Amino acid sequence: MSIEVILNLIVFAGLLFLLWKFSQGDMKLSRKVIMGLVAGVFFGFALQLLYADGGAGTISATLQWTNVVANGYISLLYMVIMPLIVISMIAAVTRIDAVASLGKIGGSVVGVLVLTTMISAVVAIGVTDVFGLSADGLIQGERESARLASIEGRQGRVDGNNVPSMLVSFIPRNVFASLAGAAGPMSIISVVVFSILFGVAALKAMQEHPEHKEAFTKGVDVIQSVVMKLVQMIMAFTPYGVMALMTRVVAGSNAQDILNLAKFIIASYVAIAIMFVVHGLLLSLTGYNPKKFFSGVIDVLAFAFTSRSSAATIPLNVQAQTTRLGVPKAIANIAATFGATIGQNGCAGIYPTMLALMVAPTVGVEVDFAFLATLVGIVTISSFGVAGIGGGATFAAMIVLPAMGLPIEIVALLISIEPLIDMARTALNVNGAMTAGVITSRFVKVAEADAVEQPAE
């Protein structure tokens, strides 16, 4: 380890200590997260400036150690995701007391997610046209060529991923494999399906044997309280995880690549910003104050932005909905888990739509109304089952582009700026899930004593 790397790590440790020192007391978590984000940007940018010329090795060696904090925090979140989903979904179903109500909740959540994904595709069409985006002139370098080879190798995993096979994949053949993540992108939705069916079976069993109801309910409540306490313990590390994640993003970015593709980046962020406004408008239509909503979820969005993982954000997503937005646990858990794999506005809506519109003219495909209508339809349908992890947008594009008869090379050509855009896309995905939870709670009345709206942090 070189002296430069040692000094960098000393500075990083000092920033972590200062973050801990300044965040003592009653400071709200959202402010702590913002402090961590700013500290990460500062440190990452400093690494870029100090080692811009020939110092890539030093930056890489430094990030190997700072990633212990970043990846460690992400691993803690992934550790608790499956237990949280299982016990929360079972508890949610058994609290509803009626299978019919469960259908209404699930249908409403999925409906909102699909509707907003359709809107996001339309927004992407408008933004792409306004900015005049095109795939012409994109230069394919070594990194892009390597990414293309990797993508083409994975294409076989997506080619047979039509709607019927996708629906079948939602049902786990081996729930233990799904709990271990062995089912790939479908793992979370498979566990959700199993947990819902288990909860429905528990409901029916308690109806047949009323004497078991109290014991089962108390047991579920005890396990859920322990899991939620574990979630709270892990959330205390969020500011430090965000700082390390942001360091990695900023220090690992290539400034020249970003400048070369700045137009696409700006257009992507404009489309994402418009969808945030759309979410606010939809909330307003249901009588919910958008300002109250966004002030209550800012720290969740900050983590989603830096982690680039909708799945890893599930614990924070559920807690924000239930403790700050007044969403019943039954609805919050369904919205958070469904939103991690269904109807992702950023990854499954905006991104593949923009790529398809950029590529189509370069291969002689006429972009007319029929093309646009077909594109919106395919984007909406393919949004089911998109992985709620970093890279989910790539899978979405690999489904949409071939379905439209378009080449997938554009996905590889944008590799250099992918992380920068993916951060905002993930934040939008998570916001869409929380929006679905709030809207559903306004339409579907579920009696639950602990669904009390608390002041936002």
What pLDDT sits at residue 116?
A: 94
Nearest to 382 by CA among 402, 370, 365, 399: 399
On whether the 3-443 domain is CATH 3.40.50.2300, my answer is no
- Check residue 455 and give its pLDDT: 44
Q: 126 near 270, Cβ under 8 Å?
A: no
Please check the confidence at residue 323 and state whether its pLDDT lies above 80.
Answer: yes
Contact 317, 336 (CB under 8 A): yes
Question: In 296-415, which ranges are E strands?
Answer: none
Instruction: Give the amino acid at 231.
Output: V
For residue 168, how many other CB atoms are within 10 A of its CB? 10
Angle between helix axes 351-359 and 369-382 (nearest 10 degrees) is 150
238-251 vs 56-96: helix axis angle to the nearest 10? 140
How many CB atoms are located within 10 Å of the residue 373 CB? 10
SS3 28: coil
The tens digit of pLDDT for each residue in 354-382 reads 999 988 888 888 888 989 998 998 888 77
Give the whole-angstrom CA distance, residue 264 versus residue 259.
10
The encoded tokens of residue 309 equal: 């993982």
270's tokens: 């404009």
CB 361 within 8 A of CB 350: no
Confidence class of residue 142 from pLDDT cuts 50, 70 and 90?
A: very low
Cα end-to-end distance, the chain, whole Å:
42
Which residue would you say has higher pLDDT here, 183 or 58?
58
Among the residue ranges 52-61, 92-101, 110-119, 332-341, the one predicted with the least confidence is 92-101
Kindly tell me if the per-residue pLDDT of 173 is higher than 90. no
- Contact criterion met (CB below 8 Å) for 276 and 120: no
Distance of CA 397 to the CA centre of its chain: 16
State the pLDDT at residue 158: 46
Is 82 a residue whose pLDDT tops 90? no
Cα separation, 39 vs 52, in Å, equals 19
Partners of 384 in beta bridges = 342
CA nearest to 198, candidates 110, 88, 101: 88
Residue with the bigger pLDDT between 116 and 382: it is: 116
Closest of 380, 415, 420 to residue 394, by C-alpha: 415
Share of the chain above pLDDT 90, in %: 23
Average pLDDT over the chain reads: 80
Over residues 157-169, the pLDDT tens digits come to: 444 555 566 667 7
Cα 311 versus chain centre, distance: 6
- pLDDT over 60 at 154, yes or no: no
**Pick from 17-21, 253-257, 369-373, 377-381: least confident:** 253-257
Instruction: Look at residue 234 and tell me whether its pLDDT is greater than 60.
Output: yes
Mean pLDDT along residues 50-55: 74
The C-alpha atoms of residue 12 and residue 175 are separated, in whole angstroms, by 41
CA atoms of 285 and 308, how far apart (whole Å):
29
Which range, 22-31, 34-43, 150-159, 445-454, is most confident? 34-43
DSSP run (H or E) holding 275: helix 262-285
Give the pLDDT confidence score for residue 184 in this predicted structure.
Answer: 62
Per DSSP, the residues of 332-343 read: HHHHHHHHTTB-
- The mean per-residue pLDDT over the stretch 60-64 comes to 90
Q: Please provide residue 181's backbone torsions phi and psi, each rounded to the nearest 5 degrees.
A: 80, 10
